[in-house]
Amino acid sequence: MASSYDTLKVVGTRPIRPDGVDKVIGRAAFGADMVMPGMLWGKVKRSPHAHARIKSINADKALKLPGVKAVVTAADFPSIPSEEAFVGEGPMNFRDLSRNCMAQDKALYDGHAVAAVAATSSAIAEEALDLIEVEYEVLPHVIDVEAAMADDAPLLHDDLFTQGVEPKPTRPSNIAKKIGFNKGDIAAGFKEAEVVIERRYTTQPVHQGYIEPHACVVSVATDGQCTIFSSSQGQFMVRAYCAKLLGTDIANIRAIPSEIGGGFGGKTLVYLEPLALALSKKAGRPVKMVMNREEVFRGTGPTSGGVIEVKLGAKRDGHIVAAQLVLKYQAGAFPGSPVGPGCMCGFAMYDLPNVSITGYDVVSNRPKVAAYRAPGAPISSFGVESCLDELARELRIDPLKLRELNAAKDGTKTAHGPTFVNVGYVQTLEAAKNHPHMQQKLGPNQGRGIASGFWFNIGGESSAGCFINEDGTATIVEGCPDIGGSRAGMAMMAAEVLGIPYDRVRPVVGDTASVGFNFLTGGSRVTFATGMAVTQAAEKVVVELKRRAAMIWDISPDAVEWKDGMAVPAGANAGNFDPLSLADIALKAGRTGGPISAEVSINAQGAGPGFATHICDVEVDPETGRVKILRYTAVQDVGRAIHPAYVEGQIQGGVAQGIGWALNEEYIYDRNGRLDNPGFLDYRIPVASDMPMLETVMVEVPNPRHPFGAKGVGEVPIVPPMAAVANAIADAVGTRMRDLPMSPPKLRAALDEQNPPRMAAE
Amino acid sequence: MSKHHVTTTINGEPMEYLCEAQQTMLDVLRDELGLTGSKEGCSSGDCGACTIIVDGNITCSCLMLGVEAEGRKIETIEGIAQGDRLHPVQQKFLEHAALQCGFCTPGFIVAAKALLDTTLNPTEEEARYWLAGNLCRCTGYDKIIRAVLDAAAVMRAEAGR
Amino acid sequence: MPHVVISGTAARRFTGGASEFDVEADTVHRMIRELDRRFPGLGQQIDEGMAVAIDGEIYQDAYMEKLSPDSEVYLIPKIGGG
């Protein structure tokens, strides 16, 4: 049905999103916008220490404060054995998740929750926090990733032994895991190389920076049934995690997704919901909890910072014959950095004969990392794509040409194993090369950089229902929170299949009791996987519609065709009948067998990888070290754009986050391990005046596994920007910035080092 | 804690409320008056999600006390559309897909409306600097700026008629 | 018969270091069962922590996916996302 993209009527257009009006008039209900009758306000008491043993917690004074109804600590949560399960975004150890939500025995970072209180007002709850007495024994802490790897580093967990090394270690370590990928013979490769360069790069942890802080309102009834209204990337994730952490049955929890004010991976796990449930249970009243921005920075997951060591060996003609990568990723206080995908994505764009990749997952006294857009890939790619640029300069080969020479294509065997199929990387290079941007003249202190990126994209479990209403309109119910306009895409795909106008289809993101299981919104999967479920549900409905028309006409269902939203006889032999519209059939549904609907649950496979190539022009102010982005063009293989405006939006948003990562964003800790910049004033994300218009070029290499050719698009755009900016700065002023962020003081210092200030000339 | 009695005008309607001395205008709007369109993203005046217009000036309602509304004229996101007729900025935000998650959107729309109250001929640069106090993490600002400039064009055309 | 490679070093603790196997199986599920029979514990590791790339295409949690006699199968760490 979707074999010919040319005949599509709805897919590929740009209709207004169904939830749009509510959002521009301020009526959409986000996490903090809901109230429940009789509800209390919950607040979290957080550790002021980076690393401390909790000797005692005394809540007596707090509980005596009028209006305070309950206090909970780790003692109010069931003890969970250490077990790893892959249920969220990456392996999740529920013991760690429980301890991250509420510290047990030890506080492991500044901002770690140690207690929570519920009171009749937000002000009373706040006041009560100061009355909860926590006695700490402050322990030595470690913030830096390499310091945490040292033999004499303070240990966060005395039961953490490095996985992936032989023989099995006998002493605990902050290195949770060592992993490696190898291809060919790396030593022989470097021997064969005519040019070898070896560089070290570093990145800082950066926060997802969603503007909506975490928020929820929950109620627990005396029979144990729970309702959770919260902002997350997955109501089914919230339900599963809370059931596990509270020790209750999944069926006892109904999780209702609010509108979500950004997530980018940061809302793929829970922080407040389990605490609110515990408070609600204890107090016997609903509880609302909302984080403030400081809590978001101190207590929720950024992505890793890391060290990236790259060594490349090439022939003089530009063919890379050996490539080595060592990655050290901060996991925060519990194991689970995205070093695995970091390892796999670093060299994925290239066809390399000899490769060695080693990765370390390292805990330190920082908040536990959470997923952030293409988790792991931007970090390794900053190193690799910068180093490629350095190699290109060494070889005097155009950086784009160097990428073309070594580009992965269909049939390329990757360093992590699989042989690529259906990849559009070369097409992005080609489109970049031919883009007018590449011809634009540059002035003094201006430079141009290019960089590429890869991300896997995933499919996964999705359920959707397509319900035909009595008047021939349709309701789509699916279960993935809509962060970037995905509901519009769902309605478009259903409208396309049903053959009715877009605004006759209304999509709803259902709660956990209204639709079958959906894995969360993440991994660039929703338009692909949930879109596939929606499409299949609509297709099942069309089969049924044809059957009903056949019944009305009293002919065989095989003799009915579905065309432009109407049943028509398939050819002259079928008989001569006036077409029956969807509305005609819907009206008679009761008489032809009952309501017409279909529900589909799938585990979508074949997501198809994402490739991108970005072009960035900068101007460096040599006086201040400030970098201005002059022009930015992002080329990406998007498969097939369902709603092109929201695909562009995903690309532009990823680029902007990447520019912030490149130029400004970082966590600054003081010597006591306390976060110094937990606010948007000092943790500076890009604002409108920092940005130019962001040009997007959508290369369409359709994904044969999706009914409309869609590939995931949300994540790969954040992979290239950091190196693209660094390469542009090097091109502009000849200074190679290898440590992020490339903030004005750092760039100014590097410029001074390169050209010592000429004092005498004054 | 005794409460303060405040008489003010919100979205053209006379309004009275009681609030505590430490309550911000944002708290009053959201928790006392049920006007939850203004959002709290930072409570420090950095993100602009709570932007309102006070006597014609854009203000972060998280930095203003509820009692300070006494005798003022307040406009919030809930008052930007006229009945069922969207303001051109709202319409253009929809047409340009200038929102993704939509959380920063009310603040942007209020701030952009205030810009267009002062000029119908903003340059791209003026729009970018005017809106530099509003953070958006989803869009990279491209479509927001296009929407605001397009709304200005529509309003110029309407004013010319 | 399908050729199976454990990519990376993470799961080799189950196999005594070996990483390549020929496995008589016509579905992913049968392949996992056979590997678990040879290396107890590996099955659970694959189930919970690994994706399966069959002839270049990546599958996660796909027991019923078919393998052909000349399939090239890689077991790689599972992919999540943001």
Which DSSP category does B85 fall into? B
CATH number at residue C10: 3.10.20.30
Q: What is the pLDDT of residue B24?
A: 98
What is residue A91's predicted lDDT score, i.e. its pLDDT? 61
Rg (CA), chain A: 28
Domain boundary among B79, B107, B139: B79
Task: Tell me which chain A residue has its CA closest to the CA of residue C77.
Answer: A340
**Structure confidence at residue A762 (pLDDT):** 43
Domain boundary among B79, B111, B127: B79
Name the E strands within A318-409.
Answer: 320-332, 355-363
CB–CB contacts below 8 A, A to C: 124
Chains that touch B (3 or more CB pairs under 8 A): A
ipTM above 0.90, yes or no: yes
Range of the domain at B17: 4-79
**A and B: number of Cβ contacts within 8 A:** 187
Query: What kind and span of H or E run contains A203?
Result: strand A195-203
Do A88 and C61 make contact, defined as CB atoms within 8 angstroms? Answer: no
Residues 6+ apart with CB under 8 A from A323: A189, A310, A311, A312, A313, A347, A350, A352, A354, A355, A356, A415
Amino acid at position A97, single letter: L
**A417 lies within 8 A of chain C by CB:** yes
3-state SS string for A674-704: CECCCCCCCCCCCCHHHCCCEEEEEECCCCC
Of A299, A264, A228, the residue nearest B101 (C-alpha): A264
Q: Is residue C62 part of a domain?
A: yes
Q: Which CATH number belongs to the domain containing residue B33 in this structure?
A: 3.10.20.30
The dihedral sign for the CA sequence A490, A495, A501, A503: negative
Residue C14 structure tokens: 């189950």
**Chain C residues with CB-CB distance to A344 below 8 A:** 76-77
- Could you tell me if residue C82 is inside a domain? no
Closest among A343, A317, A605 to A458, alpha carbons compared: A605
CA pair distance B49, B60, nearest whole angstrom: 8
- Residues in A touching B3 (Cβ below 8 Å): none
CB A266 within 8 A of CB A205: no
pLDDT tens-digit series, residues C15-56: 888 899 999 999 999 999 999 999 999 998 898 889 999 998
Task: Establish whether chain C is in contact with chain A, requiring a minimum of 3 CB pairs below 8 angstroms.
Answer: yes
Interface mutation vs chain C, best among A419, A420, A657, A716, most C CBs within 10 Å: A419
Torsion over CA: A59, A62, A64, A67 (sign): negative
How many domains in chain B? 2
Secondary structure of residue A216 in the 3-state scheme: strand
What amino acid positions of A are annotated as catalytic residues? 715
Q: CB neighbours of C32 closer than 8 A, spacing ≥ 6?
A: C43, C46, C47, C63
- Which of 261-280 (A) contact C at CB < 8 A? 263-266, 268
Q: CB–CB of B35 and A26 under 8 A?
A: yes
CA–CA separation, A149 and A142 (whole Å): 10
Residue percentage of chain B with pLDDT more than 90: 98
Terminal-residue alpha carbon distance, chain B: 55
- With 0-12 / 13-18 / 19 or more C-beta atoms within 10 angstroms meaning exposed / middle / buried, residue B136 is buried
Domain that holds residue C68: 3-77
d(Cα B106, Cα B31) in Å, to the nearest integer?
A: 17
Residue range B79-125, pLDDT digits in tens: 999 999 999 999 999 999 999 999 999 999 999 999 999 999 999 99
Both structure tokens of A492:
């478009």
Domain at A306-457+608-754, CATH class: alpha beta
Signed CA dihedral, A124, A127, A132, A134: sign only: positive
**Cross-strand pairs, A322:** A313
Whether the Cβ atoms of residue A71 and residue A116 lie closer than 8 Å to each other = yes
Residue-level pLDDT at C17: 85
Tokens for B112, please give them. 């952009």
Name the nearest CA neighbour of B60 among B72, B68, B52.
B52
Residue A5 is predicted with a pLDDT of 64
Contact A435, A615 (CB under 8 A): yes
Number of domains comprising chain C = 1
Do B40 and B105 reside in the same domain of the chain? no
First CA to last CA distance, chain C: 37
Residue B68 distance to chain A (closest CA, Å) = 19
Q: Which residue has the tokens 């809302």?
A: A267
According to DSSP, residue C66 is labeled B
Chain A residues near residue C16 by CB distance under 8 angstroms:
none
Q: Is-contact B69 A18, C-beta < 8 A? A: no
CB B77 within 8 A of CB A30: no
| pLDDT the model gives residue C13 | 81
The fraction of chain B above a pLDDT of 70, given in percent, is 99
For A45, the enclosing helix (H) or strand (E) is strand A40-46
Chain C contacts of A525, Cβ < 8 Å?
A: 81
CATH 3.30.365.10 correct for A5-27+459-604? yes
pLDDT at position A2: 44
Cα(A553)–Cα(A575) distance, integer angstroms: 9
Contacting subunits of A (3+ beta carbon pairs below 8 A): B, C
The answer on B40 and B105 residing in a single domain is no
Contact A645 B102 (CB under 8 A): no
B116 & B49 share domain: no
Please give the structure tokens belonging to residue A365: 């006294």
A274 within 8 A of A245, measured Cβ to Cβ = yes
CB A536 within 8 A of CB A1: no
Which pLDDT score is estimated for A761?
A: 45
Q: Which of B103, B141, B145 sits opposite A262 (nearest CB)?
A: B103
Which residues numbered 349-388 in A keep a CB inside 8 Å of some CB on C?
371-375
C63 close to A (CB below 8 A): no
In this prediction, the residues of chain A whose per-residue pLDDT falls under 50 are 1-3, 88-89, 760-762
Residue B145 to chain A, least CA–CA distance (Å): 8
Alpha-carbon span C51 to A603, nearest angstrom: 13
pTM given for the model: 0.96
Return the DSSP state at A289: E
C and B touch per CB criterion (3+ pairs under 8 A)? no
Please judge whether A208 and C82 are an interchain contact, meaning their C-beta atoms are less than 8 angstroms apart. yes
Domain A34-137+212-261+267-299 matches domain A306-457+608-754 at the CATH topology level: no
Hey, are the CB atoms on C9 and A179 less than 8 Å from each other? yes
Distance from CA of B160 to the nearest CA of A (A): 26
The domain boundary, picked from B79, B104, B119, lies at B79
| Closest chain A residue to the Cα of C6, Cα to Cα | A417
Please tell me which of the candidates A180, A181, A523 has its beta carbon nearest to residue C81. A523
Q: Which fold has domain A34-137+212-261+267-299?
A: Aldehyde Oxidoreductase; domain 3 (3.90.1170)
pLDDT number for residue A89: 46
Q: What is the rounded end-to-end Cα distance, in angstroms, of chain A? A: 75
Pairing relation of β-strands A253-257 and A446-455?
unpaired
Kindly give, in sequence order, each residue whose CB lies less than 8 Å from that of residue A45, ignoring residues fewer than 6 positions away.
A113, A114, A115, A116, A117, A129, A132, A134
Nearest by CB to A211, from B36, B97, B137: name it.
B137
The answer on B68 and B92 residing in a single domain is no
Give the start-to-end residue ranges of the domains of chain A: 5-27+459-604, 34-137+212-261+267-299, 306-457+608-754
Contacts of C44 in chain A (CB under 8 A): none
Taking Cα atoms as reference points, which of B35, B66, B58, B46 lies closest to residue B112? B58
- The sign of the torsion formed by the CA atoms of A170, A173, A177, A178 equals negative
Inter-residue contact A674 to A50 (CB < 8 Å): yes
C-alpha distances in Å from residue B2, one per residue of A476, B5, B67, C82: 50, 10, 13, 47
DSSP string, A293-334: HHHHHHHS-BPPPEEEEEEEEE-TTS-EEEEEEEEEEEEETS
Instruction: Please give the Cα distance from C61 to C49 (Å, whole number).
Output: 10
Pairwise CB contact (< 8 Å): B41 & A213: yes
Are C65 and A457 a contacting pair at CB < 8 A?
A: no
**Least CB-CB distance to A483: which of B78, B100, B105?**
B100
* B102–A19 C-beta distance less than 8 A: yes
SS3 content of chain C, % helix, strand, coil (to 5): 25, 30, 45
Among C57, C58, C82, beta carbon nearest to A375: C82
Closest residue, chain A, to C16 (C-alpha): A166
Question: Minimal Cα–Cα distance from C56 to chain A, Å?
Answer: 4
Chain B nearest-CA residue for A657: B137
Looking at residue A739, the DSSP 8-state letter turns out to be B
Task: Look at the block and give the residue holding tokens 């019944």.
Answer: A551
- Candidate from B40, B46, B94 with C-beta closest to A680: B46
Q: Are residues B97 and B151 in the same domain?
A: yes
Query: What's the pLDDT at A1?
Result: 42
Whole-angstrom Cα distance, residue B78 to residue A682?
A: 31
For residue B86, the distance in angstroms to the closest alpha carbon of chain A comes to: 8
* A373, A417, A712 ranked by CB distance to C7: nearest: A417
